[in-house]
Structure 1
Amino acid sequence: MSPQITPVPAETRQLIESRLASIASEQNIKILYACESGSRAWGFPSPNSDYDVRFIYVHSLDWYLKLDEDRDVIDLPLEHSSAGILDLGGWDLRKTLRLLGKSNPVIWEWLQSPICYHDEKLLRESREVFDPFYSPIAACHHYLSICRNTMSQGLNESTVKIKKYFYMLRPLLAAVWIERYRSIPPMELEPLLAALDDRLDIKCSISELQERKQNTDEQVPIPRITMIDQFLESEVSRLQEPAKLLPTGGGDKDKLDAFFCQSIIQ
Protein backbone atom coordinates (compact mmCIF):
# COMPACT_ATOMS: atom_id res chain seq x y z
CA MET A 1 0.00 0.00 0.00
CA SER A 2 1.37 3.44 -0.95
CA PRO A 3 2.14 6.02 1.74
CA GLN A 4 -0.45 8.71 2.41
CA ILE A 5 0.02 12.47 2.70
CA THR A 6 2.06 13.20 5.85
CA PRO A 7 0.64 16.06 7.93
CA VAL A 8 2.89 19.07 8.46
CA PRO A 9 4.10 19.16 12.08
CA ALA A 10 2.34 21.83 14.14
CA GLU A 11 5.56 23.75 14.86
CA THR A 12 6.50 23.78 11.17
CA ARG A 13 3.03 24.93 10.14
CA GLN A 14 3.21 27.73 12.70
CA LEU A 15 6.62 28.78 11.36
CA ILE A 16 5.36 28.83 7.75
CA GLU A 17 2.23 30.76 8.68
CA SER A 18 4.37 33.26 10.59
CA ARG A 19 6.67 33.72 7.58
CA LEU A 20 3.66 34.29 5.31
CA ALA A 21 2.35 36.95 7.68
CA SER A 22 5.77 38.64 7.69
CA ILE A 23 5.96 38.57 3.89
CA ALA A 24 2.50 40.11 3.64
CA SER A 25 3.53 42.92 5.98
CA GLU A 26 6.91 43.53 4.33
CA GLN A 27 5.50 43.52 0.79
CA ASN A 28 2.28 45.39 1.66
CA ILE A 29 0.11 42.66 0.17
CA LYS A 30 -2.82 40.48 1.21
CA ILE A 31 -2.27 36.75 0.80
CA LEU A 32 -5.42 35.09 -0.49
CA TYR A 33 -4.19 31.53 -0.61
CA ALA A 34 -1.08 29.55 0.34
CA CYS A 35 -0.36 25.86 -0.04
CA GLU A 36 2.29 23.18 -0.32
CA SER A 37 3.11 22.52 -3.97
CA GLY A 38 5.98 20.02 -4.05
CA SER A 39 6.69 16.43 -3.12
CA ARG A 40 5.04 16.76 0.30
CA ALA A 41 1.72 17.59 -1.37
CA TRP A 42 2.30 15.04 -4.14
CA GLY A 43 2.63 12.27 -1.57
CA PHE A 44 6.25 11.23 -2.01
CA PRO A 45 8.49 13.33 0.28
CA SER A 46 11.94 12.33 1.39
CA PRO A 47 13.24 12.96 4.92
CA ASN A 48 15.10 16.03 3.64
CA SER A 49 12.49 17.40 1.20
CA ASP A 50 12.02 21.16 1.11
CA TYR A 51 8.75 22.80 2.09
CA ASP A 52 7.62 24.23 -1.25
CA VAL A 53 5.18 26.96 -0.20
CA ARG A 54 3.33 28.81 -2.96
CA PHE A 55 0.92 31.67 -2.45
CA ILE A 56 -1.42 33.94 -4.40
CA TYR A 57 -1.66 37.54 -3.26
CA VAL A 58 -3.32 40.83 -4.07
CA HIS A 59 -2.15 44.44 -3.79
CA SER A 60 -4.25 47.45 -2.88
CA LEU A 61 -6.24 49.03 -5.72
CA ASP A 62 -3.78 51.87 -6.41
CA TRP A 63 -1.01 49.34 -7.24
CA TYR A 64 -3.00 48.28 -10.31
CA LEU A 65 -3.91 51.81 -11.44
CA LYS A 66 -0.56 52.78 -12.93
CA LEU A 67 0.72 53.04 -16.48
CA ASP A 68 3.71 50.81 -15.75
CA GLU A 69 3.18 47.38 -14.26
CA ASP A 70 5.41 46.44 -11.37
CA ARG A 71 6.86 43.01 -10.74
CA ASP A 72 4.05 40.49 -10.28
CA VAL A 73 5.92 37.65 -8.56
CA ILE A 74 7.65 37.31 -5.22
CA ASP A 75 10.73 35.08 -5.36
CA LEU A 76 12.55 34.58 -2.09
CA PRO A 77 15.87 32.85 -1.40
CA LEU A 78 15.76 29.44 0.24
CA GLU A 79 15.48 29.73 4.00
CA HIS A 80 17.20 27.27 6.31
CA SER A 81 15.19 26.79 9.47
CA SER A 82 14.88 24.37 12.36
CA ALA A 83 12.08 22.66 10.43
CA GLY A 84 14.13 22.25 7.25
CA ILE A 85 14.48 24.27 4.06
CA LEU A 86 11.64 26.65 3.23
CA ASP A 87 11.13 27.52 -0.44
CA LEU A 88 8.56 30.34 -0.56
CA GLY A 89 7.24 32.11 -3.63
CA GLY A 90 4.07 33.78 -4.81
CA TRP A 91 2.14 35.17 -7.78
CA ASP A 92 0.08 38.33 -7.92
CA LEU A 93 -3.62 37.70 -8.53
CA ARG A 94 -3.61 39.38 -11.94
CA LYS A 95 -0.74 37.19 -13.12
CA THR A 96 -2.51 34.15 -11.67
CA LEU A 97 -5.75 34.89 -13.52
CA ARG A 98 -3.94 35.64 -16.77
CA LEU A 99 -2.24 32.25 -16.58
CA LEU A 100 -5.51 30.60 -15.62
CA GLY A 101 -7.12 32.17 -18.68
CA LYS A 102 -4.43 30.46 -20.73
CA SER A 103 -5.24 27.12 -19.06
CA ASN A 104 -2.01 26.87 -17.06
CA PRO A 105 -2.53 23.64 -15.05
CA VAL A 106 -0.41 24.85 -12.13
CA ILE A 107 -3.28 26.97 -10.81
CA TRP A 108 -5.59 23.97 -10.48
CA GLU A 109 -2.83 22.01 -8.76
CA TRP A 110 -2.43 24.70 -6.13
CA LEU A 111 -6.18 25.01 -5.54
CA GLN A 112 -6.51 21.31 -4.75
CA SER A 113 -3.37 20.93 -2.66
CA PRO A 114 -3.99 18.64 0.34
CA ILE A 115 -1.75 20.89 2.46
CA CYS A 116 -3.15 24.41 2.79
CA TYR A 117 -1.53 27.11 4.95
CA HIS A 118 -3.89 30.02 4.28
CA ASP A 119 -7.24 30.19 2.53
CA GLU A 120 -9.46 33.25 2.19
CA LYS A 121 -11.91 30.93 0.36
CA LEU A 122 -12.25 33.57 -2.37
CA LEU A 123 -10.43 31.40 -4.90
CA ARG A 124 -11.80 28.01 -3.89
CA GLU A 125 -15.37 29.33 -3.94
CA SER A 126 -14.96 30.66 -7.49
CA ARG A 127 -14.24 27.36 -9.21
CA GLU A 128 -17.39 27.72 -11.34
CA VAL A 129 -15.64 30.70 -12.97
CA PHE A 130 -12.21 29.08 -13.19
CA ASP A 131 -12.84 25.47 -14.18
CA PRO A 132 -14.31 26.11 -17.67
CA PHE A 133 -10.89 27.51 -18.63
CA TYR A 134 -9.27 24.15 -17.94
CA SER A 135 -8.08 22.74 -21.26
CA PRO A 136 -7.40 18.98 -21.30
CA ILE A 137 -5.33 19.26 -24.49
CA ALA A 138 -3.13 22.04 -23.07
CA ALA A 139 -2.76 20.29 -19.72
CA CYS A 140 -1.87 16.95 -21.26
CA HIS A 141 0.84 18.50 -23.44
CA HIS A 142 2.09 20.44 -20.39
CA TYR A 143 2.56 17.27 -18.35
CA LEU A 144 4.07 15.32 -21.23
CA SER A 145 6.57 18.12 -21.80
CA ILE A 146 7.62 18.03 -18.13
CA CYS A 147 8.05 14.27 -18.30
CA ARG A 148 10.05 14.32 -21.56
CA ASN A 149 12.34 17.12 -20.36
CA THR A 150 13.05 15.35 -17.07
CA MET A 151 13.68 12.06 -18.89
CA SER A 152 16.21 13.73 -21.18
CA GLN A 153 18.09 15.03 -18.14
CA GLY A 154 17.63 12.16 -15.70
CA LEU A 155 17.88 9.01 -17.80
CA ASN A 156 21.25 9.45 -19.44
CA GLU A 157 23.39 7.55 -16.92
CA SER A 158 23.33 4.14 -15.24
CA THR A 159 22.04 5.68 -12.02
CA VAL A 160 19.27 8.18 -11.27
CA LYS A 161 18.13 10.11 -8.22
CA ILE A 162 14.94 8.67 -6.75
CA LYS A 163 13.18 12.03 -6.87
CA LYS A 164 13.83 12.26 -10.62
CA TYR A 165 11.78 9.13 -11.19
CA PHE A 166 8.84 10.76 -9.46
CA TYR A 167 9.33 14.00 -11.37
CA MET A 168 8.79 11.88 -14.48
CA LEU A 169 6.09 9.53 -13.20
CA ARG A 170 3.70 12.02 -11.65
CA PRO A 171 3.31 14.23 -14.75
CA LEU A 172 3.11 11.17 -16.99
CA LEU A 173 0.33 9.67 -14.88
CA ALA A 174 -1.43 13.05 -14.85
CA ALA A 175 -1.35 12.96 -18.66
CA VAL A 176 -2.75 9.40 -18.62
CA TRP A 177 -5.53 10.59 -16.29
CA ILE A 178 -6.42 13.45 -18.66
CA GLU A 179 -6.45 11.12 -21.66
CA ARG A 180 -8.78 8.72 -19.86
CA TYR A 181 -11.14 11.09 -18.01
CA ARG A 182 -10.81 14.47 -19.82
CA SER A 183 -10.75 16.11 -16.39
CA ILE A 184 -8.43 17.82 -13.91
CA PRO A 185 -6.06 15.17 -12.52
CA PRO A 186 -5.56 14.80 -8.77
CA MET A 187 -2.47 16.48 -7.38
CA GLU A 188 -1.45 13.49 -5.25
CA LEU A 189 0.28 10.46 -6.69
CA GLU A 190 -1.89 7.90 -4.87
CA PRO A 191 -5.14 8.42 -6.86
CA LEU A 192 -3.15 8.74 -10.09
CA LEU A 193 -1.82 5.23 -9.54
CA ALA A 194 -5.36 3.93 -10.02
CA ALA A 195 -4.74 4.36 -13.76
CA LEU A 196 -2.33 1.43 -13.44
CA ASP A 197 -4.81 -1.08 -12.02
CA ASP A 198 -4.34 -3.09 -15.21
CA ARG A 199 -0.55 -2.89 -14.84
CA LEU A 200 -0.02 -4.19 -11.34
CA ASP A 201 3.66 -4.94 -11.96
CA ILE A 202 4.36 -1.28 -12.72
CA LYS A 203 2.07 -0.09 -9.93
CA CYS A 204 3.81 -2.27 -7.35
CA SER A 205 7.26 -1.17 -8.55
CA ILE A 206 6.27 2.50 -8.20
CA SER A 207 4.74 1.92 -4.74
CA GLU A 208 7.92 0.22 -3.56
CA LEU A 209 9.98 3.11 -4.91
CA GLN A 210 7.65 5.56 -3.16
CA GLU A 211 8.16 3.85 0.20
CA ARG A 212 11.91 3.78 -0.41
CA LYS A 213 11.94 7.52 -1.12
CA GLN A 214 10.28 8.29 2.20
CA ASN A 215 13.26 6.78 4.00
CA THR A 216 16.13 7.82 1.72
CA ASP A 217 18.01 11.04 1.03
CA GLU A 218 16.48 12.13 -2.29
CA GLN A 219 19.89 13.18 -3.63
CA VAL A 220 21.33 9.66 -3.38
CA PRO A 221 21.50 7.99 -6.83
CA ILE A 222 20.08 4.50 -7.31
CA PRO A 223 20.53 2.03 -10.18
CA ARG A 224 18.09 2.53 -13.05
CA ILE A 225 14.92 0.42 -12.91
CA THR A 226 14.36 -1.16 -16.33
CA MET A 227 10.64 -1.77 -15.86
CA ILE A 228 9.96 1.86 -15.00
CA ASP A 229 12.26 3.14 -17.75
CA GLN A 230 10.40 1.10 -20.35
CA PHE A 231 7.02 2.22 -19.00
CA LEU A 232 8.03 5.88 -19.23
CA GLU A 233 9.30 5.52 -22.78
CA SER A 234 6.32 3.55 -24.05
CA GLU A 235 3.64 5.75 -22.46
CA VAL A 236 5.20 9.03 -23.57
CA SER A 237 5.32 7.64 -27.10
CA ARG A 238 1.78 6.22 -26.96
CA LEU A 239 0.22 9.45 -25.69
CA GLN A 240 1.50 11.66 -28.51
CA GLU A 241 -1.45 11.03 -30.83
CA PRO A 242 -4.30 10.79 -28.26
CA ALA A 243 -3.13 14.07 -26.72
CA LYS A 244 -3.81 15.87 -30.00
CA LEU A 245 -7.48 14.85 -29.91
CA LEU A 246 -8.35 16.18 -26.45
CA PRO A 247 -10.81 19.07 -26.03
CA THR A 248 -9.87 22.67 -25.29
CA GLY A 249 -11.15 24.94 -22.51
CA GLY A 250 -13.84 27.56 -22.97
CA GLY A 251 -14.09 29.94 -20.01
CA ASP A 252 -15.79 33.33 -19.93
CA LYS A 253 -13.16 36.13 -19.85
CA ASP A 254 -15.79 38.67 -18.75
CA LYS A 255 -16.46 36.61 -15.62
CA LEU A 256 -12.73 36.40 -14.97
CA ASP A 257 -12.42 40.19 -15.32
CA ALA A 258 -15.36 40.67 -12.96
CA PHE A 259 -13.79 38.34 -10.41
CA PHE A 260 -10.52 40.29 -10.61
CA CYS A 261 -12.23 43.65 -10.14
CA GLN A 262 -14.23 42.32 -7.20
CA SER A 263 -11.07 40.96 -5.58
CA ILE A 264 -8.99 44.13 -5.70
CA ILE A 265 -11.66 46.54 -4.43
CA GLN A 266 -12.56 44.54 -1.34
Structure 2
Amino acid sequence: MIDARIIDYDKMLPHIRAAPHPLLFATISGAHLYGFPSANSDFDLRGVHLLPLQTVVGLEDGELTIEKEGVYDGLEIDLVTHDVGKFFGLMLRRNGYVLEQVFSPLVVRTTPEHDELKSIAENCITRHHAHHYLGFAATQWKLFSKETPPRVKPLLYVYRVLLTGIHLMRAGVVESNLVTLNQTARLSYIDELIDRKLTGPEKGTLDAADLDFHAGEFERLVRQLEEAHEQSHLPEVPTARPALNDLLVRLRLNGCDVSDAVDPVPREN
Protein backbone atom coordinates (compact mmCIF):
# COMPACT_ATOMS: atom_id res chain seq x y z
CA MET A 1 0.00 0.00 0.00
CA ILE A 2 1.28 3.47 -0.84
CA ASP A 3 2.31 5.58 2.14
CA ALA A 4 0.10 8.67 1.91
CA ARG A 5 2.81 10.72 3.60
CA ILE A 6 5.09 10.42 0.56
CA ILE A 7 2.54 11.92 -1.84
CA ASP A 8 3.92 15.26 -2.98
CA TYR A 9 0.94 17.49 -2.20
CA ASP A 10 2.91 20.65 -3.00
CA LYS A 11 3.06 19.69 -6.67
CA MET A 12 -0.74 19.57 -6.76
CA LEU A 13 -1.26 23.06 -5.38
CA PRO A 14 -0.78 24.94 -8.69
CA HIS A 15 -3.64 22.88 -10.13
CA ILE A 16 -5.78 23.71 -7.09
CA ARG A 17 -4.89 27.40 -7.15
CA ALA A 18 -5.88 27.61 -10.80
CA ALA A 19 -9.46 26.58 -10.05
CA PRO A 20 -11.88 29.33 -11.20
CA HIS A 21 -13.86 29.36 -7.93
CA PRO A 22 -12.97 28.98 -4.23
CA LEU A 23 -12.73 25.35 -3.12
CA LEU A 24 -14.38 24.08 0.05
CA PHE A 25 -12.10 21.06 -0.15
CA ALA A 26 -10.14 18.92 -2.58
CA THR A 27 -9.22 15.33 -1.76
CA ILE A 28 -7.60 12.44 -3.63
CA SER A 29 -9.83 9.65 -4.89
CA GLY A 30 -9.18 6.77 -7.30
CA ALA A 31 -6.41 4.20 -7.02
CA HIS A 32 -4.40 6.21 -4.47
CA LEU A 33 -7.37 6.31 -2.10
CA TYR A 34 -8.25 2.68 -2.78
CA GLY A 35 -4.77 1.47 -1.86
CA PHE A 36 -3.44 0.13 -5.15
CA PRO A 37 -1.88 2.93 -7.26
CA SER A 38 0.76 2.00 -9.80
CA ALA A 39 3.90 4.08 -10.14
CA ASN A 40 2.40 5.79 -13.18
CA SER A 41 -1.14 6.23 -11.83
CA ASP A 42 -2.54 9.72 -12.31
CA PHE A 43 -4.07 11.62 -9.40
CA ASP A 44 -7.86 11.88 -9.27
CA LEU A 45 -8.70 15.00 -7.28
CA ARG A 46 -12.32 15.54 -6.29
CA GLY A 47 -13.88 18.42 -4.45
CA VAL A 48 -16.43 21.18 -4.02
CA HIS A 49 -16.35 24.72 -5.37
CA LEU A 50 -18.41 27.74 -4.39
CA LEU A 51 -20.12 29.75 -7.12
CA PRO A 52 -20.53 33.52 -6.51
CA LEU A 53 -23.80 34.59 -4.90
CA GLN A 54 -24.69 36.78 -7.88
CA THR A 55 -24.44 33.70 -10.12
CA VAL A 56 -26.72 31.43 -8.10
CA VAL A 57 -29.40 34.10 -7.63
CA GLY A 58 -29.40 34.96 -11.33
CA LEU A 59 -30.97 33.24 -14.31
CA GLU A 60 -27.85 31.31 -15.33
CA ASP A 61 -26.96 28.02 -13.65
CA GLY A 62 -23.25 28.71 -13.60
CA GLU A 63 -20.59 25.98 -13.68
CA LEU A 64 -22.20 23.30 -11.56
CA THR A 65 -19.47 20.81 -12.48
CA ILE A 66 -15.95 21.69 -13.53
CA GLU A 67 -13.44 19.23 -14.98
CA LYS A 68 -9.82 20.18 -15.49
CA GLU A 69 -6.81 18.06 -16.42
CA GLY A 70 -3.17 18.98 -16.44
CA VAL A 71 0.41 17.91 -15.78
CA TYR A 72 2.28 19.73 -13.02
CA ASP A 73 5.91 18.89 -12.20
CA GLY A 74 5.44 15.49 -13.76
CA LEU A 75 2.15 14.68 -11.99
CA GLU A 76 -0.84 13.93 -14.20
CA ILE A 77 -3.84 15.40 -12.37
CA ASP A 78 -7.57 15.15 -13.06
CA LEU A 79 -9.58 17.62 -10.98
CA VAL A 80 -13.39 17.39 -10.87
CA THR A 81 -15.43 19.66 -8.59
CA HIS A 82 -19.15 20.28 -8.07
CA ASP A 83 -20.79 23.47 -6.86
CA VAL A 84 -21.62 23.24 -3.18
CA GLY A 85 -25.40 23.21 -3.76
CA LYS A 86 -25.19 20.34 -6.25
CA PHE A 87 -22.79 18.41 -4.03
CA PHE A 88 -24.96 18.73 -0.92
CA GLY A 89 -27.91 17.46 -2.96
CA LEU A 90 -25.87 14.39 -3.95
CA MET A 91 -24.98 13.78 -0.32
CA LEU A 92 -28.67 13.45 0.54
CA ARG A 93 -29.10 10.69 -2.03
CA ARG A 94 -27.83 7.11 -1.99
CA ASN A 95 -24.49 8.25 -3.36
CA GLY A 96 -21.56 6.64 -1.61
CA TYR A 97 -19.06 8.13 -4.03
CA VAL A 98 -19.49 11.70 -2.78
CA LEU A 99 -19.23 10.54 0.82
CA GLU A 100 -15.94 8.83 -0.03
CA GLN A 101 -14.67 12.19 -1.30
CA VAL A 102 -15.71 14.02 1.88
CA PHE A 103 -14.08 11.41 4.14
CA SER A 104 -10.96 10.79 2.04
CA PRO A 105 -7.91 11.02 4.34
CA LEU A 106 -5.79 12.21 1.40
CA VAL A 107 -6.47 15.94 1.74
CA VAL A 108 -4.98 18.47 -0.68
CA ARG A 109 -7.13 21.51 0.22
CA THR A 110 -9.25 21.88 3.31
CA THR A 111 -11.18 24.58 5.18
CA PRO A 112 -12.93 24.80 8.55
CA GLU A 113 -16.19 24.23 6.68
CA HIS A 114 -14.80 20.95 5.34
CA ASP A 115 -14.37 19.74 8.91
CA GLU A 116 -17.94 20.79 9.63
CA LEU A 117 -19.11 18.98 6.52
CA LYS A 118 -17.45 15.73 7.61
CA SER A 119 -19.42 15.83 10.87
CA ILE A 120 -22.66 16.50 9.02
CA ALA A 121 -21.93 13.77 6.45
CA GLU A 122 -22.09 11.10 9.15
CA ASN A 123 -25.82 11.78 9.28
CA CYS A 124 -26.15 11.24 5.53
CA ILE A 125 -25.33 7.54 5.79
CA THR A 126 -28.30 5.19 5.47
CA ARG A 127 -28.80 1.47 4.97
CA HIS A 128 -29.95 2.19 1.43
CA HIS A 129 -26.44 3.19 0.41
CA ALA A 130 -26.10 -0.55 -0.14
CA HIS A 131 -27.98 -0.06 -3.40
CA HIS A 132 -25.28 2.34 -4.60
CA TYR A 133 -22.56 -0.24 -4.00
CA LEU A 134 -24.57 -3.14 -5.40
CA GLY A 135 -25.24 -1.20 -8.60
CA PHE A 136 -21.68 0.06 -8.85
CA ALA A 137 -20.27 -3.44 -8.32
CA ALA A 138 -22.55 -4.87 -11.02
CA THR A 139 -21.35 -2.21 -13.48
CA GLN A 140 -17.70 -2.81 -12.63
CA TRP A 141 -18.13 -6.58 -12.96
CA LYS A 142 -19.75 -6.19 -16.37
CA LEU A 143 -16.84 -4.05 -17.54
CA PHE A 144 -14.33 -6.55 -16.15
CA SER A 145 -16.01 -9.61 -17.66
CA LYS A 146 -16.17 -8.04 -21.13
CA GLU A 147 -12.41 -7.64 -21.34
CA THR A 148 -10.28 -10.10 -23.32
CA PRO A 149 -8.03 -10.93 -21.64
CA PRO A 150 -9.40 -9.76 -18.26
CA ARG A 151 -7.22 -7.30 -16.34
CA VAL A 152 -6.31 -7.21 -12.66
CA LYS A 153 -7.10 -3.50 -12.22
CA PRO A 154 -10.89 -3.58 -12.86
CA LEU A 155 -11.18 -6.73 -10.72
CA LEU A 156 -9.64 -4.85 -7.79
CA TYR A 157 -12.22 -2.11 -8.31
CA VAL A 158 -14.98 -4.75 -8.08
CA TYR A 159 -13.68 -6.04 -4.76
CA ARG A 160 -13.07 -2.53 -3.41
CA VAL A 161 -16.66 -1.52 -4.09
CA LEU A 162 -18.18 -4.64 -2.55
CA LEU A 163 -16.04 -4.56 0.59
CA THR A 164 -16.68 -0.82 1.07
CA GLY A 165 -20.43 -1.47 0.90
CA ILE A 166 -20.31 -4.42 3.30
CA HIS A 167 -18.19 -2.47 5.79
CA LEU A 168 -20.51 0.54 5.57
CA MET A 169 -23.59 -1.57 6.29
CA ARG A 170 -21.95 -3.32 9.24
CA ALA A 171 -19.90 -0.53 10.82
CA GLY A 172 -21.60 2.64 9.53
CA VAL A 173 -18.20 3.99 8.49
CA VAL A 174 -17.04 4.98 4.99
CA GLU A 175 -13.77 3.12 4.31
CA SER A 176 -12.41 3.14 0.75
CA ASN A 177 -8.98 1.56 1.13
CA LEU A 178 -8.96 -2.07 0.01
CA VAL A 179 -5.91 -2.97 2.11
CA THR A 180 -7.61 -1.66 5.25
CA LEU A 181 -10.91 -3.32 4.35
CA ASN A 182 -9.18 -6.67 3.87
CA GLN A 183 -7.86 -6.58 7.42
CA THR A 184 -11.43 -7.45 8.38
CA ALA A 185 -12.55 -9.37 5.28
CA ARG A 186 -9.39 -11.54 5.27
CA LEU A 187 -9.66 -12.57 1.63
CA SER A 188 -6.42 -14.42 0.92
CA TYR A 189 -6.27 -13.46 -2.74
CA ILE A 190 -6.56 -9.68 -2.32
CA ASP A 191 -2.93 -9.08 -1.34
CA GLU A 192 -1.73 -11.15 -4.30
CA LEU A 193 -3.94 -9.20 -6.72
CA ILE A 194 -2.73 -5.87 -5.31
CA ASP A 195 0.89 -7.01 -5.57
CA ARG A 196 0.35 -7.95 -9.21
CA LYS A 197 -1.19 -4.53 -9.84
CA LEU A 198 1.63 -2.65 -8.07
CA THR A 199 4.62 -4.59 -9.39
CA GLY A 200 3.34 -5.64 -12.81
CA PRO A 201 2.32 -3.67 -15.88
CA GLU A 202 -0.68 -1.31 -15.65
CA LYS A 203 -2.57 -3.64 -17.99
CA GLY A 204 -1.62 -6.87 -16.22
CA THR A 205 -4.03 -9.69 -17.00
CA LEU A 206 -5.52 -12.77 -15.37
CA ASP A 207 -5.39 -16.37 -16.50
CA ALA A 208 -8.60 -17.81 -17.88
CA ALA A 209 -8.54 -20.42 -15.11
CA ASP A 210 -8.98 -17.64 -12.52
CA LEU A 211 -12.25 -16.38 -13.95
CA ASP A 212 -14.56 -19.06 -12.53
CA PHE A 213 -13.09 -18.56 -9.06
CA HIS A 214 -13.54 -14.78 -9.13
CA ALA A 215 -17.06 -15.11 -10.57
CA GLY A 216 -17.95 -17.26 -7.56
CA GLU A 217 -16.39 -14.75 -5.18
CA PHE A 218 -18.25 -11.89 -6.83
CA GLU A 219 -21.58 -13.68 -6.35
CA ARG A 220 -20.71 -14.60 -2.76
CA LEU A 221 -19.78 -11.03 -1.81
CA VAL A 222 -22.88 -9.64 -3.51
CA ARG A 223 -24.95 -11.94 -1.28
CA GLN A 224 -22.97 -10.74 1.73
CA LEU A 225 -23.72 -7.13 0.88
CA GLU A 226 -27.41 -7.92 0.37
CA GLU A 227 -27.52 -9.67 3.74
CA ALA A 228 -25.63 -6.83 5.43
CA HIS A 229 -28.20 -4.42 4.01
CA GLU A 230 -31.07 -6.48 5.39
CA GLN A 231 -29.43 -6.74 8.82
CA SER A 232 -28.14 -3.17 9.02
CA HIS A 233 -29.24 -0.88 11.84
CA LEU A 234 -28.39 2.25 9.88
CA PRO A 235 -31.17 4.84 9.43
CA GLU A 236 -33.68 4.56 6.62
CA VAL A 237 -33.29 8.20 5.59
CA PRO A 238 -30.61 10.87 6.12
CA THR A 239 -31.14 13.33 8.95
CA ALA A 240 -28.56 15.87 7.76
CA ARG A 241 -30.78 18.04 5.55
CA PRO A 242 -31.29 20.93 8.05
CA ALA A 243 -27.58 21.08 8.89
CA LEU A 244 -26.59 20.97 5.22
CA ASN A 245 -29.08 23.70 4.44
CA ASP A 246 -27.71 25.89 7.24
CA LEU A 247 -24.13 25.36 6.04
CA LEU A 248 -25.12 26.07 2.43
CA VAL A 249 -26.81 29.36 3.34
CA ARG A 250 -23.78 30.47 5.36
CA LEU A 251 -21.42 29.56 2.55
CA ARG A 252 -23.52 31.41 -0.02
CA LEU A 253 -23.68 34.55 2.11
CA ASN A 254 -20.23 34.56 3.69
CA GLY A 255 -18.01 32.36 1.52
CA CYS A 256 -15.41 30.05 3.05
CA ASP A 257 -11.85 30.31 4.31
CA VAL A 258 -9.76 29.62 1.20
CA SER A 259 -6.33 29.63 2.82
CA ASP A 260 -3.86 27.17 1.30
CA ALA A 261 -4.33 24.57 4.00
CA VAL A 262 -2.62 21.30 3.12
CA ASP A 263 -2.74 18.15 5.24
CA PRO A 264 -0.14 15.66 4.01
CA VAL A 265 -0.74 13.24 6.88
CA PRO A 266 -3.62 10.76 6.48
CA ARG A 267 -6.50 11.06 8.89
CA GLU A 268 -6.68 8.30 11.47
CA ASN A 269 -9.89 6.27 11.06
Shift of 1:235: 1.8
Structure 1 distance, partners of 2:4, 2:151, is 22
Match for residue 47 of structure 1 among 39, 44, 57: 39
The answer on 1:176 being equivalent to 2:160 is no
- Offset of 1:84 from its aligned partner? 3.8
Matched to 2:135, the amino acid is S
Deviations along 1:187-241, one digit per CA (max 9) or x if unpaired, are: 21122113324xxxxx221111112211222223232534333211222145335
Inter-partner Cα distance in structure 1 for 2:157 and 2:134: 11
Amino acid at match of 1:71: E
State, as a whole percentage, how many aligned pairs show the same letter: 20
**Is the partner of 1:88 in helix, strand or coil?**
strand
1:2-21 equivalences under 5 Å are 3-10=1-8, 13-21=9-17
Instruction: Give the gaps of 5 or more residues in structure 1.
Output: 198-202
Distance 1:8 1:249, change over 3 A: farther
C-alpha distance 230-61 of structure 1, shift in aligned 2 (>3 A): same
Unaligned 5+ segments in structure 2 are: 255-269
Pick aligned residue for 1:148 from 138, 145, 151: 138
Residues 81, 220 of structure 1: alpha-carbon distance in 2 compared, 3 angstrom cutoff: farther
Q: Is the CA contact 1:131–1:251 (under 8 Å) kept in the aligned structure 2? A: no
The structural deviation recorded for 1:8 is: 4.6
Q: Does 1:212 align with 2:201?
A: no
Are the counterparts in 2 of residues 5 and 41 from structure 1 also a CA contact under 8 Å? no
Shift of 1:115: 1.4
CA contact (8 A) 1:132 1:249 kept: no
Matched, 1:58 2:47: no
Q: Would the aligned equivalents of 1:140 and 1:174 in 2 still touch at CA under 8 Å?
A: no
Cα distance in 2 between the residues matched to 1:22 and 1:80: 13
Change (3 A) 1:149 1:113: same
1:6 CA displacement: 4.1
Q: Paired residue for 1:136?
A: 127
1:20–1:5: structure 2 CA closer, same or farther, 3 Å change rule?
same
Equivalents in 2 of 1:86, 1:217: separation in Å? 20
What's the CA shift for 1:9? 4.0
Contact 2:11 2:75 in 1 (8 A): no
| Contact residue 92 and residue 238 of structure 2 kept, 8 A | no
Counting matched residue pairs gives 250
Q: 2:246 is matched with which residue?
A: 258
Scaled by the length of structure 2, what TM-score is found? 0.84
CA RMSD of aligned residues (A): 2.2
For residues 239-250 of structure 1, what are the structure 2 equivalents within 5 Å? 239-240=225-226, 242-244=228-230, 246=232, 247-250=235-238
